[in-house]
């Protein structure tokens, strides 16, 4: 499932700063690609164990079984390694979202089943490596190039979600692109928060999923669309009519 951070501020600054966030060279030969893959796999393990501050290039190189000099041939800094991990994460989660949409189209689940499946899929991504997820989503620098990649992936995901919602006649939100935006970001934000800081005193995992699915189902099946008008503080009777 895809995850977004389009509210993150992209890293802009002097050219020398931007260069520290980008790979020194892209692997061309297979052996070079294997080395880069080793470095990125090791970096994910190191960041998961030691966090962003403790994820030094020395530790990454040692975990990858290469010299620091070899690491620096491809990445000028640990920040560049983290950015490469984030870029791979964006590609992979975008791929998973499209796979999920295709699965939902072929299986023809009902709306609630589809939302439940989506929420559980995003939850699994966050729970797999919570510390690494937190680092990628909240601590990794976001160079302008990657910010644009992120925005493009986000727009693509919203269109895919809107296309899926068209298959359910009980969905009454309009426009569907806006509905897709809220579904994706509501699920992403809330599941990320729950996985990073679970609190069984407030809500357990099973109830969390059920509550989130119910909330989204109610939102999507409301008839009409919000007009952006402020409601009276004493009585709420929004333009959307929900059963």
Mean pLDDT of the chain: 83
pLDDT score recorded for residue 138 = 82
Q: What is the pLDDT of residues 159-175, one digit of tens each?
A: 999 999 999 999 999 89
Which residues lie across from 143 on neighbouring strands?
A: 11
The band of 236, judged by pLDDT with boundaries at 50, 70 and 90, is: very low
What is the secondary structure of 179-240 as a DSSP string?
A: HHHHHHHHHHHHHHHHHHS--TTT--HHHHHHHHHHHHHHHHH-BS----PPPPSS----SS
Least confident of 66-70, 75-79, 136-140: 136-140
Q: Is the pLDDT of residue 6 over 70?
A: no
In three-state secondary structure terms, 68 is: helix
User: What phi and psi, each to the nearest 5 degrees, are found at residue 4?
Assistant: -130, 155
pLDDT score recorded for residue 97 = 83
pTM: 0.74
The band of 16, judged by pLDDT with boundaries at 50, 70 and 90, is: low
Residue identified by tokens 């989660």 is 93
Mean local confidence (pLDDT), 27-42: 90
Domains of the chain (ranges plus CATH)?
83-225 (1.10.357.10)
Mean local confidence (pLDDT), 9-31: 67
Q: What whole-number percentage of the chain has pLDDT above 90?
A: 42
Taking the mean position of all CA atoms in its chain, how far away is CA 220? 22
Q: Is the pLDDT of residue 235 over 60?
A: no
Q: In angstroms, rounded to a whole number, what is the distance separating the alpha carbons of residues 187 and 104?
A: 17
pLDDT score recorded for residue 239 = 43
Mean local confidence (pLDDT), 225-237: 49
pLDDT score recorded for residue 12 = 52
Q: In angstroms, rounded to a whole number, what is the distance separating the alpha carbons of residues 66 and 152?
A: 35
The band of 133, judged by pLDDT with boundaries at 50, 70 and 90, is: confident
Euclidean distance between the first and the last CA atom of the chain, given in angstroms as a whole number: 30
């Amino acid at each position: 499932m895809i995850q977004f951070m389009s509210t993150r501020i992209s890293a802009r600054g002097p050219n020398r700063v931007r260069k520290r966030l980008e790979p020194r060279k892209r692997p061309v030969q297979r052996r070079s690609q294997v080395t880069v893959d080793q470095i990125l796999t090791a970096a994910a393990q190191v960041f998961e164990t030691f966090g962003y501050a403790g994820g030094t290039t020395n530790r990454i190189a040692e975990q990858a079984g290469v010299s620091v000099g070899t690491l620096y041939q491809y990445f000028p800094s640990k920040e560049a390694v983290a950015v490469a991990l984030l870029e791979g994460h964006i590609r992979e989660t975008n791929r998973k979202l499209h796979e999920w949409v295709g699965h939902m189209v072929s299986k023809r689940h009902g709306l609630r089943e589809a939302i439940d499946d989506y929420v559980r899929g995003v939850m699994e991504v966050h729970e797999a490596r919570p510390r690494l997820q937190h680092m990628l989503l909240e601590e990794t620098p976001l160079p302008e190039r990657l910010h644009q990649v992120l925005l493009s992936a986000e727009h693509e995901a919203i269109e895919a979600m809107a296309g899926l919602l068209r298959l359910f006649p009980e969905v009454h939100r309009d426009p569907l692109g806006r509905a897709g935006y809220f579904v994706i970001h509501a699920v992403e934000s809330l599941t990320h928060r729950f996985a990073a800081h679970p609190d069984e005193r407030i809500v357990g995992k099973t109830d969390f999923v059920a509550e989130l699915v119910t909330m989204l189902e109610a939102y999507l099946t409301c008839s009409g669309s919000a007009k952006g008008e402020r409601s009276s503080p004493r009585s709420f009777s929004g333009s959307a009519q929900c059963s």
